[in-house]
């Protein structure tokens, strides 16, 4: 009977090696799972003996090796969508019984992103060197965040890595889906407004000033209608302070003080948003702004509930799970609320009281969490909350898009219509003047 050498991890995440006398590789994998091991490498003894030995440097025991991940010019980083696809594929391979190491090698061969491809190779080498999968992932914090690493570690310790990978893939897919819906819904109004601003800028800077010259010649010193003069003055101000046509540049248009002011304001806003105080102010505004505030609030609540529910159901201790949720909340206000929840749980109290004191979570969420705590079904209740708020975000975004379309149409119609009316008023005045002259001429002939 053939002999197969194996490398596997036990329920504590420690590596063990040995050999089994079984009929096939699949049988060896099944036997190892029955023994409570998670196989990372299973090869025939003859094949292993014929292969040249590779010297693999194991990571230092004192802690995880520092990440060597960085964005190389022209190489790009790892997008969330690519990481989600990798997680789902790895979950499928491991769930099908393929050893983890072999699964990483398979995905490495087919991966097109250079950075992720090299990272998968480093993960495989690290596992071959004796590290656990979670320890290997922790060496690359710029790609795999703390949530990813903690869930994988919980799966390794519980011997249910394939289950945790599936949950993680589902979590990332749903987060990507809700993010995609918000971006897709906002793309249309942003695109329309951008095109509208460009068209209006061209009209006010290049087209309307031409009419000013024409009206000057046609009116022969007569006073322009008040509304026309108002629009021409706005056009002149926009042209003067937005675009400059200097003589030294051969008349080539250059940014004016208004554009430079907008650039300076954008840079200043960017630096302000990076400060602790600025981040807090902006996150508070996000949750309280009139139209988009409810959408941002629902997205934050959904993210909080799904992250915490996924971590707890995967076996991550509640205090550690709350710490991860705080770091990945995406909003300082929600993060501060999670910190208070962490302190409350640490002192042996419930989640409900600090959740209510945060003034972020609606009564329905607080009640559902309270029921989940009392019945011992907190993870399931959190996932229901996340699903409910995902649907509410979808409905809110659809309603907001439906409301924005007629508002933008009316806004553009008013602006463009006002310009057209302003340009036609002098012509109407001229026509009326010509009519009056004709009548006077006819009266004199009689």
In order along its 446 residues, the chain shows pLDDT tens digits of: 678 888 776 655 566 788 888 877 777 777 877 787 766 677 777 654 544 444 334 344 334 344 444 333 333 467 888 888 888 888 888 888 888 888 888 888 888 888 888 889 888 888 888 888 888 888 888 888 888 888 888 777 777 788 888 888 888 888 888 778 777 777 877 888 888 888 888 888 888 888 877 777 776 667 778 888 888 888 888 877 777 665 555 556 666 677 788 888 889 988 888 888 888 888 888 888 877 788 888 888 888 888 888 888 877 788 888 888 887 777 888 888 888 888 888 887 778 887 887 777 888 888 888 888 888 888 888 888 888 888 888 888 778 777 777 888 888 888 888 888 888 888 887 777 666 555 555 555 55
As a residue count, the chain comes to 446
Q: How much is the pLDDT for 267?
A: 92
Q: Burial letters for 178-206: b for 16+ Cβ neighbours within 10 Å, e otherwise?
A: beebbeebbeebeebeeeeeeeeeebbbe
Q: Burial letters for 411-436: b for 16+ Cβ neighbours within 10 Å, e otherwise?
A: ebeeeeeebeebbebbeebeeeeeee
d(CA 214, CA 427): 11
Q: What's the burial of 277, exposed, middle or buried (CB within 10 Å: 0-12/13-18/19+)? A: exposed
d(CA 126, CA 58): 6
The SS3 call for residue 320 is helix
Residue 123 phi/psi, 5-degree rounding, is: -60, -45
The two three-digit tokens of residue 64, written as one number: 């995880």
d(CA 164, CA 160): 6
Three-state secondary structure of 345-404: HHCCCCCHHHHHHCCCCCHHHHHHHHHHHHHCCHHHHHHHHHHHHHHHHHHHHHHHHHHH
The residue among 330, 337, 332 whose CA lies nearest residue 357 is 337
d(CA 72, CA 115): 8
CA distances from 128 to 42, 59, 192, 300 (A): 12, 11, 54, 39
Other beta carbons within 10 angstroms of residue 330's beta carbon come to 15
Helices 363-375 & 378-445 angle (0-180, nearest 10): 170
d(CA 76, CA 112): 12
Q: What share of the chain is helix, strand, coil (3-state, %, to 5)?
A: 70, 5, 25
Residue 9 phi/psi, 5-degree rounding, is: -115, 140
Q: Where are the beta strands (DSSP E) in 156-280?
A: 243-244, 254-255
Find out whether 134 and 153 touch, Cβ atoms under 8 Å. yes
The two three-digit tokens of residue 408, written as one number: 């933008």
Which residues are CB-neighbours of 161 under 8 A, at least 6 positions away? 38, 94, 100, 133, 152, 155
Which residues sit opposite 244 in a β-bridge? Answer: 254
Find out whether 296 and 392 touch, Cβ atoms under 8 Å. no
The SS3 call for residue 140 is coil
Q: Where are the beta strands (DSSP E) in 183-335?
A: 243-244, 254-255
Find out whether 149 and 164 touch, Cβ atoms under 8 Å. no
């Amino acid at each position: 009977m053939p002999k197969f050498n194996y490398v596997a991890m036990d329920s504590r995440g420690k590596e063990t090696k040995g050999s089994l006398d079984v009929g096939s590789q699949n049988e060896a994998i099944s036997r190892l799972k029955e023994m409570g091991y998670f196989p990372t490498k299973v090869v025939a003894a003859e094949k292993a003996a014929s292969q040249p030995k590779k010297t693999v440097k194991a990571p230092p025991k004192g802690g995880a090796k520092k990440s060597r991940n960085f964005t190389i010019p022209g190489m790009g980083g790892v997008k969330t969508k690519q990481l989600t696809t990798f997680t789902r594929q790895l979950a499928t391979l491991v769930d099908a019984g393929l050893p983890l190491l072999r699964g990483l090698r398979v995905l490495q061969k087919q991966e097109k992103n250079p950075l992720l491809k090299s990272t998968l190779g480093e993960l495989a080498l690290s596992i071959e060197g004796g590290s656990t999968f979670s320890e290997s992932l922790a060496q690359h914090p710029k790609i795999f965040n703390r949530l990813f690493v903690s869930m994988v570690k919980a799966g390794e310790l519980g011997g249910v890595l394939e289950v945790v990978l599936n949950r993680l893939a589902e979590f990332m897919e749903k987060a990507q889906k809700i993010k995609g819906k918000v971006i897709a819904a906002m793309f249309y109004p942003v695109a329309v407004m951008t095109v509208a601003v460009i068209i209006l800028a061209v009209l006010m800077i290049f087209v309307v000033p031409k009419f000013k010259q024409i009206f000057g010649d046609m009116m022969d010193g007569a006073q322009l209608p008040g509304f026309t003069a108002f629009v021409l003055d706005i056009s002149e101000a926009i042209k003067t302070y937005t675009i400059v046509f200097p003589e030294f540049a051969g008349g080539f248009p250059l940014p004016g003080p208004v554009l430079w002011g907008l650039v300076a304001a954008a840079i200043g806003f960017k630096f302000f948003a990076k400060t602790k105080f600025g981040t807090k102010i902006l996150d508070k505004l996000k949750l309280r702004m009139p139209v988009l505030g409810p959408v941002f609030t629902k997205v934050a609540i959904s993210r909080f509930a799904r992250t915490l529910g996924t971590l707890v159901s995967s076996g991550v201790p509640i205090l550690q799970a709350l710490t991860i949720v705080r770091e990945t909340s995406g909003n300082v206000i929600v993060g501060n609320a999670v910190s208070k929840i962490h302190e409350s749980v640490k002192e042996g109290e419930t989640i409900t009281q600090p959740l209510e004191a945060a003034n972020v979570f609606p009564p329905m969420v607080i009640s559902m969490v309270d029921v989940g705590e009392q019945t011992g079904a907190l993870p399931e209740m959190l996932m229901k909350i996340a699903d409910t708020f995902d649907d509410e975000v979808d409905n809110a975004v659809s309603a907001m898009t439906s409301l924005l379309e007629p508002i933008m149409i009316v806004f553009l119609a008013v602006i463009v219509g006002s310009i057209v009316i302003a340009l036609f008023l002098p012509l109407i005045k001229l026509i009326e003047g010509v009519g009056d002259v004709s009548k006077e001429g006819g009266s004199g002939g009689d």
